Amino acid sequence: MVLNQKEGWIEVITGPMFAGKTEELLRRIKRLEYAKKNIVVFKPLLDNRYGDNEVVSHNKNKTQSYNISDPEEIFNFVDKETNVVAIDEIQFLNEKVIDVINYLATNGIRVIVSGLDTDFRAEPFSFMPRLLSIAEYVTKLTAVCVKCGAPATKTQRIVNGKPARYLDPIVLIGASESYEARCRHCHKVYRKPKKYKGKL
């Protein structure tokens, strides 16, 4: 961090599934716990893969959290003693979360969030581009492509052993049974419209 920076800013940890976003969020939370900071952790109610009231990484590391469906519920759990607010899987909340975390950061709270930057189509996920543009710090992680071993920046959705179709629903909660990490060249989406035809 920058020396002498005033308290209150936004950090975003992003990338595809299986890149270690939640693991990195938990690592930062643990460091702040050692520093005796007052931390409040949240996750969307929608994300129930590993149980309620806990943020859990694929490696099974975890911390206690509050489940919320509306970003303004955050204000029910923070007060003047709160130093840090952490949110996992932020892309599953609605766009109002941008205003909420902007308010928190402006009022002296360090906000750390993690979330997917793109959906299974490899297109920007909802409000995530706006979030990335307002954050003071962005960490973009990569995974390992399950097909070729190259750095993976895409999330591949699998349906019955095959790539999902372009018009399938954007949100489908799942883990390794439904998703894989893929590189640009191994990522596939059935019936994806071609937006540009170059000359190569």
The residues annotated as belonging to the active site are 89
CB atoms within 10 A of CB 69: 11
Q: Is 186 left (phi over 0), alpha (psi -120 to 50) or beta?
A: alpha
DSSP letters for 47-75 = --TT-SSEEE-TT--EEE-EEESSGGGGG
